Amino acid sequence: GAGVSQSPSNKVTEKGKDVELRCDPISGHTALYWYRQSLGQGLEFLIYFQGNSAPDKSGLPSDRFSAERTGGSVSTLTIQRTQQEDSAVYLCASSLGLAGSLYTQYFGPGTRLTVL
Amino acid sequence: ILNVEQSPQSLHVQEGDSTNFTCSFPSSNFYALHWYRWETAKSPEALFVMTLNGDEKKKGRISATLNTKEGYSYLYIKGSQPEDSATYLCAASPAAGNKLTFGGGTRVLVKP
């Protein structure tokens, strides 16, 4: 079946602009995660959604970052007033459920964001 | 939040040689350990999920072990091939919740 998809694959923007990154999880997966990898860094957790529960936003680096998940499926990560340090690969992942972390997370191909 | 570390950061392996590398994590408040392989321009691919002390998993020429008492996992590649070249990520989660903390990865380059 279809895997996790993300769009756009690449985004170049100017400092101060807002950007939206989209994630389509695997159908039936109730958990959705956003991560980012900055140059030379490991994968950094940003936020996750599980069903109708309140999202865990503990990894969002600043209030310029927000995310929503509509209808328990598609998610959008929004970065307002982008800064150069926001340049990174943003990865989305989905999994079957939250109950403990034994569920494999399936990753999308990522969006490479470059802020000039 | 767990502190997950991987070593080495990178290694070069001659084709046909075997290799291994380490993921370490706090042994307290541990629940599960994941290994992923991330090839350039592709999505990270899940390799293994382990939770019990002494777990061993195998997938083709790749295998992993888990020691939860001392807080480490080894990933082994037997008879390395150029297609094994990738960054190998480990991630751990604490007892509560489903949030994974990733290590910095080990970048493996297999030279023909």
Nearest CB among A31, A33, A104 relative to B46 is that of: A104
pLDDT tens digits in sequence order for chain B, 112 residues long: 568 999 999 999 999 999 999 999 988 878 889 999 999 888 999 999 998 888 999 999 999 999 999 999 999 999 999 999 999 999 998 765 667 889 999 999 999 9
**Cα–Cα distance measured from residue A80 to residue A63, given in angstroms and rounded to the nearest whole number:** 9
Residues in chain B within 8 Å Cβ distance of A58: 99
Q: A14: helix, coil or strand? A: coil
Cα–Cα distances (Å) from B9 to A15, A89, B32, B97, B109, in that order, read 32, 19, 22, 28, 11
In the block, residue with structure tokens 């927000």: A66
Render pLDDT for A100-111 as a digit per residue (tens, 0 to 9): 556 788 999 999
CB of B63 within 8 A of CB of B52? no
Nearest CB among A45, A50, A110 relative to B100 is that of: A45
Q: A85: helix, coil or strand? A: helix
Name the residue of chain A whose CA is nearest to B51's CA.
A102
Buried b (16+ CB within 10 A) or exposed e, B32-50: bbbbbbbeeeebbebbbbb
Name the residue of chain B whose CA is nearest to A10's CA.
B41
Render pLDDT for A30-55 as a digit per residue (tens, 0 to 9): 889 999 999 878 889 999 898 888 88
